[in-house]
Chains A and B, each alone.
Chain A
Amino acid sequence: MQIIENLKVKEKLYLEKLENGLAVMIIPKPGIQKKYMIWGTNYGSNDSEFVVPGEKENTVVPMGVAHFLEHKLFEQENGTNSLDVLTSLGVEANAYTTNDHTAYLFECTDNFYEAMDELMDYVQHPYFTDENVEKEKGIIGQEIMMYDDYPEWRVYLNAMSAMYHNHPVKLDITGTIETISHIDKDVLYRCYKTFYNPSNMTLVICGDFEPEKILEEVKKRLIDTKASGEIKRIYPQEPENIVQPKIEQKLEVSQPLYTIGIKDKREIDVQKSEIVKKHICIEILLDMIIGKSSNLYKQLYNDGIIYSTPSLDYEFAKDYAHVLVSGQSNNPELVLEKFKEEIKNLKQNGVSEDALSRIKKKIYGGYIKEYNDVADISRMFLADYFKGICSFDYLEEIEGINVEYIEQVLKDVFKEEKMVISIVRN
C-alpha cells in the first residue's frame, strides 16, 4: 500500500489500487468511535452519452439515469431493501449523486462489519424489475418537485443554463419528470454494467482501523470481476462563450436571490498541482473581492444591498469549471456591477502582499478544519480523487502561491465577458 503522510494536518492516507482496478483509500482515525465507509463510482448525471467498453456505437440514455440507479440499487432480489437492513443495524446509511459521481455510504459506531457486508453486497448485486422501476418514478417525481420549491436550487441551475450551451452540467441531476418516464430496467442494467465496474470505482474508509486489516476485509467481500477497458464519455462540444448574460425567474421569495457565474475553461492535460493551485487562487481572490473582510462587502452591507456574506464557490470537473457567487439582495444588478468594478480595481492596483498572506492563513485554517469528521474527510477524498487530486495537495500547495501567480489567475478567469447573473424574484 502506498502511504501518503501529511505533516501539517498530521494525518495519513493509505492508498491501494487492486488488480480489478478498484482504488481503496484508508484514512485511520485512532480514538474516534465513528466509522465511515463510502463507495463511489465515477459516474454522475453528466454521463448520458458514452461508448460501452468493447462496443463501437455510442449509447445515449435519458437524463437522470445515474440518480435513478442510485435509488434502485438498494432493492434486493430477496425482497429486502438494503437501506432498511442497514438502518436496522443501527447505522446511518445514505447515497447521493453528483454531476460526476455516485456514492453509497454508511456511518456507524457499532456493527461496522455487518454493515460493510450489506453495503458491498448490494452495490455489487443490482436487482431491477419493471415493477420496482415504475414505483420509484413516483418517489423521484416528488424529489424533483421538492427541488422545484427551493429557490436556491433554481437560481443556481438557471445560472448554469446561462453559462452553458450544451454541457449536461446545466441540467437537473435528477432529470425531469419527462426524462425519467423513459427509464426502464434495461437502461439501468446497461448503465450499471458500464459504470459499476471496479476499475471505475473508489472506496474510502475512515475510522479507527488498522489499514492492512481493513483492506483484507474489503478484498474478501469483492466478487470476482475483471477490470473493464476505458469508458469513452461523449460530451457535447461546449463553446467558450456564455449563452446569455442575464436570466430571471419568478418565484415567491421575500427578497431576490442571485447567482453570479463566471464561466471558466478547463485546460486538458494540466498537472494536478496546477489544478489545485488554481483552485486555491480563486478561493483567495473571491475572498479578497467580496469576502467578509473586503471593501466591497463592507460597502454593500452598509448600503443595505446585501445582508450576509455571499457564498463563494469554484466548481470544476474534468471538462468544465466555473466560479459562483450567490446570495440574497434587494438589487442583484447592482451587486454585479460593483463586483465587476472591484475586479477591475484589483487588476489595476494589483494584489497586496499583506492581504494575500492574511487570506492564505484563513484558507489554510479552513483546510485544517475539514479533517475533524470522518464523514467530511471521506467524502472530500472521494470527490477529489475523481477529479484526479489528492486532498492533502491543498495543504501543500497553498504555501507556494505568490502575487504573480494569483494576478495571472485573476486575469485569466475573472473576465467580464464570461460573467452571467441569474436572479429569482417575485
Chain B
Amino acid sequence: MQYKQEEIKKGIKLHLLKTDKFKTNIIAVFLTTKLDRNTVTENALISAILRRGSKNMPTQERISVEMEEMYGASFDCGLDKTGDNQVLKFYIETINDKFIPNKNEGILENSLNKILEIVFDPFLENGVFKKEYVEQEKVNMKHRIEGKIDNKARYALDRTIEEMYKEEPFGLYKYGYVEDLEKIDNVELYEKYKQLISKCKIDIFVSGSIEDTTKNTIFENENIKKIGQREADYIVPEITKKDLQEEKNITESMEVTQGKLILGLDVNLNDEKQKYATLVYNNILGGSANSKIFQNVREKAHLAYAANSSYMRFKNNIFISCGIEITNYEKALGLIREQLEQMKNGDFSEQDIEEAKKGIVATIKTIDDEQDTQITYYFAQELSQDTITVEEYEQKIKDVKKEEIVNIANNTQINTIYFLRD
C-alpha cells in the first residue's frame, strides 16, 4: 500500500491509498466542521439533502440508476461526531475495472466525478435547494432523531455521553434536535450549505487500484476548481484537563426486559503519548474476553452476556457497558468498581499486559487489510495532525510499561453511572 497526500488548495486535501488487495475502490469525501448547538441540526439536514439529487442527477432514483449501471456502485452518506467536530461523510464503493466483464468502462473516474457532483453541485430549483426535498428531509430527520430510543443499548450510551458533556459540543446529538427543524426552510438551508462548503475542512480519499490519471481527474474536476481555499474551521483534538467531579448517578426507565448499565469514565492525560498506555489499560479492563470485566462480571458471576469497555480516544473517555438483570444492579456495579480498584493497585500480571498488547497489535496489523478501516485510520491522523505509520503505532504499543498503565488507572475516575431499567 502506498499512501500519499497532497493539498489541492488550502484546507482541501487529497489522500491517495494505492493498493491492489481489494476487489473494490472506495472514494470518500469528508466535510469536517465544528460541532455547535446552532448548526448541528442544519448540517445533519444538509447531508440528507445532498443525497436527494445533483445537477445532472436531479432525483435520488436517478442517482440510484446511475449507481446500478456502474455495476452496483454503492453510494452512501453518514454523519459522525469526531471529537468536537461534526463530520459529513460521503462514500462511493465500486468494483475494480478488473472484475467487469466489459473492460474500459472507467468506473473509477466516473464515480469520482459523480461523488464530487453530489457534494459540490447539488440539485437547485430557482437557485436554492428544492423546497419539497427540504420539507421531506425535515420529516425524515425528525424520525431519525426520535429513533434514538429504538436501540436501547446504544441509547443508554448516548444518554451517558449527553450527561457527561452537558452544555458542551461533544454532548450534542449528531443528528441534531427536533425543535430546530421547524425553523429551517429551503432558502436558508441553501445559504447554510454555501457557508459550510466555503469554510469546512475537506478531505477526499481514494483507495484502491489508483491510476496515474486519478489525481488529474480530481484536480481537473470542475466542481473542485470552483471551490475556494479556506482556513478550515474545525477543532484539532487535544488533551484537556478534566476536573475532578463527584460521581453522577442517573437512572431512567423505559420498557426494557434487561437493564443496561453504562459507566462513563474520565481519563486524565498530560501527554498524547499516554494514549498508547490507555489503550492497553482499556484492553485489560474490559477490551477482550480475557479482560477483568468480562471474566468477573460474565464468566465468574454470570451476571451478563455482554460486558465490556471501550476507549474513545478523541475525548479520553472509557465507557464500560453491560446488560444485566435489573435486580443485579448493585452487584454488577460493585464488581466493576472492584476491577477499577485492582487496576489502580496494579493488580494484573505481566502476562495480562502481553496478551492485551497482542490483541491490540493484531488489530493494528489488520488496518491495511480492511479498506474502510484504512480510510478511518488515516482520517483520524489527519484530524489530530499526527503522522504515525502502522509500524510505529505497533511499536508504541509494545513499549508500554506496567507503571504507565497503573498511572493511567490512577488518573481515571468515574464521571457518570447510567442505568436504563424498566
> What residues make up the interface of A, taking CB atoms closer than 8 Å to B?
8-10, 31-34, 81, 83-84, 87-93, 107-111, 135-143, 145-146, 148-151, 251-255, 257, 291-295, 297-298, 301-302, 304, 307, 328, 330, 358-359, 361-366, 368-369, 371-374
What is the bound-complex CA distance between A83 and B24, given in angstroms?
33
Contact residues, B362-411 vs A (CB, 8 A) = 362, 365-366, 368-371
Is B23 interfacial (CB 8 A cutoff)? yes
List residues of chain B with CB within 8 A of the CB of A110.
Answer: 358, 361-362, 365
The segment from B57-65, B78-86, B163-171, B265-273 that touches chain A is B57-65
Q: Is B144 an interface residue (CB 8 A)?
A: yes
Task: Indicate if B355 sits at the interface (CB-CB under 8 A).
Answer: yes
Q: Which listed segment binds A: B32-40, B119-127, B182-190, B302-310? A: B302-310
Partner of A372 from B24, B94, B152, B357 at Cβ < 8 Å: B24
Contact A32 B68 (CB under 8 A): no
**How far, in whole Å, are A255 and B147 apart by their CA atoms in the complex?**
7
A254 in contact with B149 given A9-B99, A84-B290, A363-B72 (CB within 8 Å): yes
- Is B22 an interface position by the 8 A CB rule? yes
Q: Which of A142, A255, A291, A301 contacts B258 (CB 8 A)?
A: A142
B290 with A88: CB separation less than 8 A: yes
Check if B299 is an interface residue, CB within 8 A of chain A.
Answer: yes
Question: Quick check: A149 and B258 within 8 Å, CB to CB?
Answer: yes
**Alpha-carbon separation in the docked complex, A364 to B68 (Å):** 10
Please, could you name 13 A-B residue pairs with CB atoms under 8 Å apart, sorted by A?
A: A32-B369, A84-B290, A88-B290, A88-B351, A110-B361, A143-B305, A148-B257, A253-B150, A254-B147, A302-B132, A304-B139, A358-B68, A365-B71
Residue of B nearest to A424 (CB): B150
Contact: A34 with B258, CB < 8 Å? no
Q: Which of A10, A137, A149, A251 has the most chain B CB within a 10 Å cutoff?
A: A149
Closest A residue by C-beta to B65: A293
A138 touching B303 in the complex, CB below 8 Å, given contacts A93-B289, A253-B150, A298-B60 = yes
Contact of B22 among A8, A253, A372 (CB under 8 A): A372
Give the CA-CA distance A361 to B93 in the complex, in Å: 14
Q: Chain B contact residues (Cβ within 8 angstroms of A): what range?
A: 35 or more
B306 and chain A: residue at smallest CB distance: A146
State which of A34, A142, A294 has its C-beta within 8 Å of the C-beta of B324: A142
Q: Is the CB of A304 within 8 A of B290?
A: no
Residues of A within 8 A of B95 (CB): 365, 368-369
Is B250 at the interface (CB under 8 A from chain A)? no
Q: List chain A residues, Cβ under 8 A from B22.
A: 372
The 3 closest A-B pairs by CB, nearest first: A90-B358, A365-B72, A138-B302
Contacting residues, chain B, for A251 (C-beta < 8 A): 255
- Cross-chain contact B258 with A146 (CB below 8 angstroms): yes
In the bound assembly, the distance between CA atoms of A255 and B146 in angstroms comes to 8
Partner of B143, one of A34, A297, A302, A328: A328
Contact, CB under 8 Å: B72 / A145: no
The reply to whether A84 and B289 form a contact with Cβ atoms under 8 Å apart is yes
A176 CB → nearest B CB, Å:
12
Q: Would you call B21 an interface residue if the criterion is a C-beta within 8 Å of the partner chain's C-beta atoms?
A: yes
Structural contact, A361 and B69, CB atoms closer than 8 A: yes
* Assembly CA distance A145 to B289 (angstroms): 21
Q: Are B366 and A145 in contact (CB under 8 A)?
A: no
What separation, in Å, do the CA atoms of A34 and B255 have in the docked complex?
42
A87 touches B288 (CB 8 A): yes
Q: Cα distance A252–B68 when bound, in Å? A: 37
Bound form: Cα–Cα A420–B295 in Å? 43
> Who on chain A is nearest to B307 by CB?
A142
Which A residues are in CB contact (< 8 Å) with B290?
84, 87-88
* Neighbouring A residues of B306 by C-beta, 8 Å: 142, 146
User: B298: which A residues are within 8 A, CB to CB?
Assistant: 139
B355→A90 contact, CB < 8 A = yes
Is B98 an interface position by the 8 A CB rule? yes
Indicate which residue in B61, B295, B299, B351 contacts A298 across the interface (CB closer than 8 Å): B61
Q: Answer whether residue B323 sits at the interface, using C-beta atoms and an 8 A cutoff.
A: yes
Q: Is the CB of B257 within 8 A of A145?
A: yes
B304–A139 CB distance below 8 A = yes
When C-beta atoms are compared, the residue in chain A nearest to B59 turns out to be A298
Most buried by A among B73, B302, B361: B302
With A9-B99, A90-B361: A135-B302 Cβ-Cβ less than 8 Å: yes
Given A135-B302, A139-B302, A146-B306: A307 and B143 within 8 A (CB)? yes
Q: Evaluate whether A361 and B371 lie within 8 angstroms (CB atoms) in the complex, with A88-B358, A146-B306, A148-B257 already known.
A: no
Chain B contacts of A149 at CB under 8 A? 152-153, 256-258, 323
